[in-house]
Structure 1
Amino acid sequence: MSEYRWSRKSLDELKEFHWHTINPQMMRDGLDPDEPPSYQWLADNGWSGLAYALREHHDLTVKEFFTDIVGLKNGASEDYNWGIDDEDTISAFESYLSMLERRRGLADSTLPTRQTHLARFARVYRDLHSNADLLARLDDRNHEPEEIERCLRVLDEFDRELSTDGTKLKYLQTVRSFYEYLVDFRRATYNPVENAAKQFRWEQGTPDNRTMTAEQIRELYEAASSLEDELLVLGLASWGLRPGELASMHVSQLVLDVEEGTEPYIAFDERKNGPGTVALLYGVDELYHRIDQLDERASWNGYVFPSSQSASGHLTTDTINNRFKRLARACDIRVDGSVPTAKLCRRFWYTTYQSAVGDLLSQLEGVAEDQGSSSAEVVMSNYLSEEKRRRFRREAMRDALAEIFE
């Protein structure tokens, strides 16, 4: 029998399973969490039984479940926000996706995934090269070496940010297919990522679930010799920020004075999946101290990690990564034999969060038994409001972080 016992779960339980388990995995794999995942992706993660249970017990397709019950978007949309302002590139993306839908008959849930891949590639390209014009240099082979290097720099960012080799290869496959489409239809004379896979040691199908332990994170934090380094570890491991988000964090993003019962947070106008906020469940006192420390500088520009040598006014992503690795080397910390990188902290955050929520559900088992409910998940979904569920989850995570950092 499947460990998930799909046929025994109500729609509310399946919906809760999505938010507790499927949604975090989608984010780790670089998928758009607002779009329905594909059946193949579900199957790859061991959740193929969900489709059968929906069909046989709830008379729903997978897409209907994610759109009508969970409330995700209904597939690729003409109103999709690409996050760039280059109309020629957007037009090429939409033409490519239209061709896939019309001629290859791809599943509706596959198109949004490719949409997400292309949008992220274009946004990173823009951030690195000041514009998102992917087409301008494709009609002249004299530009080919330079354009290959431009694209490889984008893939370098993917290599740092995405969680597994399989995910990196999926992004690359989408981008390569897009450029192949341009070449096939004489809109480009070459494909700048045709041989890009040779430059990276990405292996398809090799599980990459490496993460750091709580003991290793604690050791790094205790080894930090400055408030700046303490915040570097806190930002990566207790807030779950990406290295680039931490490097560019500005005081204007911080909402620290909040009403009792709510958490301080960081506001982002743009993240990988759009605007959003990150709750600060731990480390607020250190953040206050850092701001007080910086505020004494007459020339402070508002960045939490300022830099007078960087054109941006703040530390670069590479500097954050290098400082993290320096701490790890000083502590002689290894993960699978290698010095860990900053991105492993984000995976640590997800692992810790899931574990904390699991502990919370274990505590509710007694309540479920007393109420005659089939599981703690039912108590969470049916008897607690979303606001209370969110508060309980955050309190569980806060306790878990306190055990590590205190």
Structure 2
Amino acid sequence: MNNGSHSKGAAEKEAATDESKREKRYNWSQMDLEEMASIYWADMAPKRRREGFDEDRDVPSYEWLTDYGFSGIAYALREHHDLTPRQFFVNVVGLGDGEDPDEWVWGIDHQPTVDALDSYLRTLGTLGKRTDSTVETHRTRLTKWVRTYRDLHGTDALLASLDDVSNQPREMNRCYAVLEVFDNELSTNRSKLEYLTVIQSWYQYLFGHQYARYNPLSQVQNDIGWEAEESDPSALSPAQVRRIYTEVSDPEEELLVVALAGWGLRPSEVASLHNQQVVLDGDDPHLSFGDGERKNGPGEVTLMYGVNLLTDRVDTLADRQKWNGHLFPSRSSSTGHISVSTVRRRFKRVADRADVIVDGDTPTPKMGRRFWYSVYQEAVSEVAAGLEGVAADQGSSSVDVVMRNYLSEEQLRQARRERMQERLAEAFVG
């Protein structure tokens, strides 16, 4: 009786495993590292969570990958990126507890080239003020470049031919040959252009800092035929924001959703948000960012919704004996705050509970930021539309003339703020 029951259970488990293997077919060899990481968060992480794993920390074993039909990633990582699965899940995806499974290995032996790569990344992170995630993205893409160059041309001395201008035609051909490999291996023009941007930046650094006498990719924009696909980025709708917001389970989760969709912050800005950036005095509550701290964004972010949540969060954390000032602190992280991957995981967890789907998949934190910008554009348009009658009464040629000559910047700002507050209240409260 027991043996039969055991056999039946084993058979059911085996059938479930076989079914999991048939769920999807992944063309791992055609993916870059970021695309592989997105597969982890979209398809692997939910399975890990359902089995009781901490999907933000626990690194999948090879056995688990095999059982669930993901074993092909190991081959692609080894053959195309010279990485082990553990290196990928820790260094690229961001799992683990701040561990470093191996010192980063470029996969080349030419020390001057390695030194130039390391120098570029240090400059990018210190003087360039780029985030850790940006530096890691550059690192992984440069790694693919130098290893492909090595495999294709039989040498890892990428700097050797850059000290003599007479070598430029031959070196250009070598670099273009590597780009042809990228053209065949990467699945989308977007991925190809993202890699190209990083490679161009490195060669420009080499030329500007006297590592090279010329830039072999100086004409690549004129020669290459990659064009970005034109598509509007997806954004959450007000109804979807409301559904997600109603599914938050604690004040920390609530603040995270508001910071993304109600303040329009980037995931990295949410992760590292600090009490020193919070300005609640006076009639203009806002977050303050240092010079150059925000890429393509203002140094201040006006808080038009959720100020009470922020105040409560600060008060709660201030009662802790050892608070480091971060609004999303983490004792296990060397930075003192949660990681971007944790922001992504927590947001997607709430979206999963709300059963919200965008473009056939669970929405990402960036879609919350895009919601904020779409709502802001609508608020600006409404303010302009409200002045059309004034423009007609004044005989002005356009609303812009009224806005410029009859209203102060403070009046316009207040009008935009009121419209924005109404829009956000509709989305979060209904």
Aligned residue type for 1:327 = V
Q: Is residue 2:239 matched to residue 1:215?
A: yes
Correspondence for 2:328: 305
Comparing 165-174 and 310-319, the one that deviates more? 165-174
Correspondence for 2:255: 231
Q: How does 1:3-402 map to 2 (within 5 A)?
A: 123-124=129-130, 170=193, 172-179=195-202, 187=211, 204-258=228-282, 262-269=283-290, 270-273=293-296, 276-402=299-425
Summarize deviations over 1:92-137 as a string: whole Å, max 9, x none: 99xxxxxxxxxxxxxxxxxxxxxxxx8999543767769x999x99
Are the structure 2 counterparts of residues 126 and 317 from structure 1 closer, same or farther at C-alpha, using a change threshold of 3 Å?
Answer: closer
Are the structure 2 counterparts of residues 376 and 240 from structure 1 closer, same or farther at C-alpha, using a change threshold of 3 Å?
Answer: same
Aligned residue type for 2:307 = V
Name the SS for the 2:364 alignment partner: coil
Name the SS for the 1:359 alignment partner: helix
Question: Contact 1:224/1:230 (CA < 8 Å) preserved in 2?
Answer: yes
Are the structure 2 counterparts of residues 307 and 387 from structure 1 closer, same or farther at C-alpha, using a change threshold of 3 Å?
Answer: same
**CA distance in structure 1 between the partners assigned to 2:246 and 2:260 by the alignment:** 15
Question: Contact 2:278/2:287 (CA < 8 Å) preserved in 1?
Answer: yes
Question: How big is the shift at 1:373?
Answer: 1.9
Question: How big is the shift at 1:342?
Answer: 0.2
Please provide the CA RMSD for this pair.
4.3
Question: How big is the shift at 1:354?
Answer: 0.4
Q: Which segments of 5 or more consecutive residues in structure 2 lack a partner in the other structure?
A: 1-115, 157-187, 218-225
Question: How big is the shift at 1:227?
Answer: 0.8
The percent identity for this pair of structures is 44
TM-score, scaled to structure 2: 0.52
Aligned residue type for 1:395 = E
**CA distance in structure 1 between the partners assigned to 2:268 and 2:350 by the alignment:** 18
Aligned residue type for 2:274 = H
Question: Contact 1:166/1:203 (CA < 8 Å) preserved in 2?
Answer: yes
Question: How big is the shift at 1:374?
Answer: 2.7
Question: Contact 2:388/2:399 (CA < 8 Å) preserved in 1?
Answer: yes
Q: Which segments of 5 or more consecutive residues in structure 1 lack a partner in the other structure?
A: 1-87, 94-117, 148-164, 194-201
Question: How big is the shift at 1:312?
Answer: 1.1
**CA distance in structure 1 between the partners assigned to 2:275 and 2:205 by the alignment:** 43
TM-score, scaled to structure 1: 0.55
Question: Contact 1:233/1:324 (CA < 8 Å) preserved in 2?
Answer: yes
Question: How big is the shift at 1:168?
Answer: 6.8
Are the structure 2 counterparts of residues 184 and 353 from structure 1 closer, same or farther at C-alpha, using a change threshold of 3 Å?
Answer: closer
Question: How big is the shift at 1:141?
Answer: 7.3
Summarize deviations over 1:154-173 as a string: whole Å, max 9, x none: xxxxxxxxxxx887765543
Are the structure 2 counterparts of residues 127 and 340 from structure 1 closer, same or farther at C-alpha, using a change threshold of 3 Å?
Answer: closer
Question: Contact 1:166/1:206 (CA < 8 Å) preserved in 2?
Answer: no
**CA distance in structure 1 between the partners assigned to 2:375 and 2:343 by the alignment:** 22
Aligned length: 260
Are the structure 2 counterparts of residues 345 and 169 from structure 1 closer, same or farther at C-alpha, using a change threshold of 3 Å?
Answer: farther
